[in-house]
Every structure is written in C-alpha cells, then in structure tokens.
Amino acid sequence: MATVTLQGTELHTNGELPAVGDDAPDFRLTDGDLNDVSLADFAGKKRLLNIVPSLDTPTCAESARKFNQNFSNRSDAVCLVVSADLPFAQGRFCSIEGLKNVVPLSMMKSKKFAKDYGVLITDGPLEGLAARAVVVVDESGKVTYTQLVKEIADEPDYEAALAALG
C-alpha cells in the first residue's frame, strides 16, 4: 500500500505501482466508442499511461494538455489517459480542448486496472478513484518508468516521464 495526499490529508492506495523491469499488467478499459481496449492493442509502440482521478479537475486537465503537446509528432509512442470518467465526458473534454494526440480510456466497467497498477484509492474523499501516476511501458511490454505523484493536486514530472519514453 502506498500513501498519497490530497491537500495534505493522507490517502492510501491498494498497492504499489509495477516495478521498473516488470511486465506491465494488461488491462481492459473502455474507449469513446464503448469498445474494450487493452495494453496489447498498442503492442509495438512505447506507451505512456497518464493515470488521473478525473479529467474534470484542473490538474488532470493540464496533464492531458501537456502530454498532448508532446505527442503531436510521435508515431513510435502513444499516450493513454486513464481515468474513472465516463467515455462520453472524456470525449467531450478532448473535443473542447482540441486534444488529438492522447487516447482517453475509462475505468467505467471495472476498477481492475487501478487495482492491478496499485493506484486504487482505498479511503478518504477520493475512494474508488485512481491516484495520479505515470507509467511508461516499452515496445516489449516492460515497465521502464513509474511515478506516483505524492500530492494528488500536483502535476507529474513531465520531463522525467518523457525522457524515459525516449
């Protein structure tokens, strides 16, 4: 179990992020057309998982915008923005913001993703949502970088995540 904070108040997750060098857990998330999507669907590409509680918050929205900017000219990698938001809300957000370089994916059908990645918040006002984290997975499915953002209201370390992506 890891500890994060929300404006100084401790919250706990169900576990730990996958370790660097481990195989990334596969998942089943939902895209904007209500299709099931898995990590394997992006095989052969580097994958940056931008895990956020909800795109309907300033920090989560900003991280999606910043990663979107950095993926505008990448064909070797994909940025997956994972949240508990409904796919319709994710699509509306991306449309309004003009985000075309990230793939929003929803945990609406299951919290298994958050459990498998160790980011499911188990107590406090955000119980049931995912803690803010970034996981980079290489083309072969190995985890090459992780960051659990200790204060949920803080942004991730973009430079470190993008450097790990290569």
Residues 38, 127: Cα–Cα separation, whole Å: 24
pLDDT (average), residues 23-49: 96
Q: What is the pLDDT of residues 47-64, one digit of tens each?
A: 999 999 999 999 999 999
**Residues forming the active site:** 60
Q: Are 48 and 77 in contact (CB under 8 A)?
A: yes
Q: What is the pLDDT of residues 60-70, one digit of tens each?
A: 999 999 999 99
pLDDT, position 72: 87
With vertex at residue 92, the alpha carbon angle to CA 156 and CA 136, rounded to the nearest 5 degrees, is 30
Residues 32, 16: Cα–Cα separation, whole Å: 28
pLDDT, position 92: 94
82 to 8, 10, 71, 140, 158: CA distances (angstroms): 24, 22, 16, 20, 16
Residues 59, 152: Cα–Cα separation, whole Å: 8
In words, the CATH class of domain 3-165 is alpha beta
Residues 75, 36: Cα–Cα separation, whole Å: 22
The answer on pLDDT for 83 being more than 90 is yes
pLDDT (average), residues 129-134: 97
What is the pLDDT confidence band of residue 73, given thresholds at 50, 70 and 90?
Answer: confident
